[in-house]
Amino acid sequence: MQVNRRILRALTGITYRFYHSDKRKKVSLYSKISPLGNPSCSVTNELDEWVCKGNKVRFAELKRIILDLRKRKRFNQALEASEWLKSSGIFTFSSIEHALQLDLIGKVHGFLAAEIYFNNLSKEDKNDKTYGALLHCYVRQCQMDKALIHLRKMEEEGVPLSSVAFNDIMSLYTKTGEYERIPEMLLHMKEIGIRPDNLSYRICINSYGARSDIEGMERVLNEMENQSFIVMDWNTYAAVANIYVKAGLNDKANSFLKKAEEKIDNKEGLGYNYLISVHSRLGNRDEVIRLWFLEKSALKRCINRDYINMLEALVRLDALEEAEQLLKEWETSDNCYDIRVPYIVIIGYIDKKLYEKAETMLEDLSTKGKILTPNIWGRLASGYLDKDKFERAVKCMKVALSLKKDSKGWKPDPKVIMRIFSLFGENGSVNDAGSFLQSLRPVVSINREMYHVLLKTYVASGEEVDKLLSTMRDDNIDENEETKVILRMQPMRF
């Protein structure tokens, strides 16, 4: 057995380790805190309990935990752990830890709380790191005046500056749509001896693109390409290609997509995804397929994000058969289930008015126990109405309404609801109309217009309206002139 193991190792290069089955994994502080998936849970108790049991808290480990929590956007827990570390008195915070704490305070409590923390720092700890963290807080909350004053203060007080601070301001100008101010900031950087980096140039290039200033964009690109300290990357060339697409300059767009592809790292999934997306907008079906196979070969394993991007590209190209095949490939992958993946194909069917195919897919997913959302069924109901398939529309809307209790934020389109009520009236389906009204109650407020349509249905069918009028009054909707007009349409009874 030992000889065979050595031979196998020599042939495959694989090292095998054998463990006793009763060996227990050592409990670490990370394993205690990391599984606390609820962002509202407190980590202080876990830290206190850890210390009470005689365990040591290692600075490097707790800092790694804080960074990990921040990376996963669990900012409250990250801040709590950082505050615990600071208040413990075991470790002295350097400006790096203060900057991290300041950033977390800004994310959790806002820039005003971050300002207070910054102002209470010692003079030694007010350096480029903490100044930069506060600046980022201002930028994140779109505090333009404060951000500009803070940057000016950094310059006046001789705080070491880099392109990061200026990129923050230029990003803020992008958020506020003040694109014309971005080239001014780039010029100011250069005037005070700060070298722009790739992001600086890319923000400026995009600012010209946003203003459809192709000449200005090309001028900045040419400057960037001729800087000895700049190594051109795929992001910039892809951004330029995207601007050409928007300007209708497809030949130039294709040229820069090739340049971008040459700069992609073989392990860069985001790069392939971006190029696939832009090529699909250009209608370059063969390029989209080629890049997808390149991406799969380079990455070895594609994640849900990659499948979503490729499916969107295929749907955009009207390549629904290829999208179906790719969906089957995804279903056999080891990726975790994500409803967004099949939804792309379903929405593609709806957009192409292939409503029956969309419904079949939704029913298949439901049969498999997948959790669906009401909005997709609502869209399908609207499509069926456009195709004059009333019964199918009602069925889909009822499914949407039944799913509403598990979905926050969704409301049925009022126009679709009123069209359904109107068609009930035309068909004289009193019982169905009443049943539909009841299914609506948990989801939307029943209004006068709905009752009037329902009254017309009752009148047209010769049904008694007294009970419906009583229900209408229970909903605090009194009869008005329009109601009386509808009631006068009732046939005389003898």
| pLDDT for position 20 | 40
| pLDDT for position 464 | 84
| pLDDT for position 317 | 97
pTM of the model: 0.81
| pLDDT for position 28 | 74
CA neighbor of 334 nearest in space, from 361, 311, 302: 302
Please spell the DSSP secondary structure of 176-236, one letter per residue: HT-GGGHHHHHHHHHHTTPPP-HHHHHHHHHHHHHTT-HHHHHHHHHHHHT-TT----HHH
Q: What are phi and psi of 402, to 5 degrees?
A: -70, -25
CA neighbor of 174 nearest in space, from 134, 220, 205, 217: 205
| pLDDT for position 486 | 85
Alpha carbon of 278 to those of 237, 264, 317, 383, 414: distances in Å? 12, 15, 11, 29, 36
| pLDDT for position 8 | 30
| Per-residue model confidence as pLDDT tens for the chain (494 residues) | 443 443 233 323 333 333 344 445 567 777 777 766 566 677 888 888 888 888 888 888 889 889 988 988 889 999 999 999 888 887 889 999 999 999 999 999 999 999 999 999 999 999 999 999 999 999 999 999 999 999 999 999 999 999 999 999 999 999 999 999 999 999 999 999 999 999 999 999 999 999 999 999 999 999 999 999 999 999 999 999 999 999 999 999 999 999 999 999 877 789 999 999 999 999 999 999 999 999 999 988 899 999 999 999 999 999 999 999 999 999 999 899 999 999 999 999 999 999 999 999 999 999 999 989 999 999 999 999 999 999 999 999 999 998 876 667 788 998 999 888 888 867 757 778 878 888 888 888 888 888 888 888 888 777 888 888 888 998 899 888 998 888 887 765 54
The whole-angstrom separation of Cα 33 and Cα 42 is 9
| pLDDT for position 361 | 96
| pLDDT for position 10 | 32
The one-letter amino acid code at 66 reads I
| pLDDT for position 33 | 76
| pLDDT for position 98 | 96
DSSP state of 3: H
| pLDDT for position 407 | 63
The whole-angstrom separation of Cα 336 and Cα 248 is 39
- For the record, the structure tokens of 428 come out as 């004289």
| pLDDT for position 303 | 92
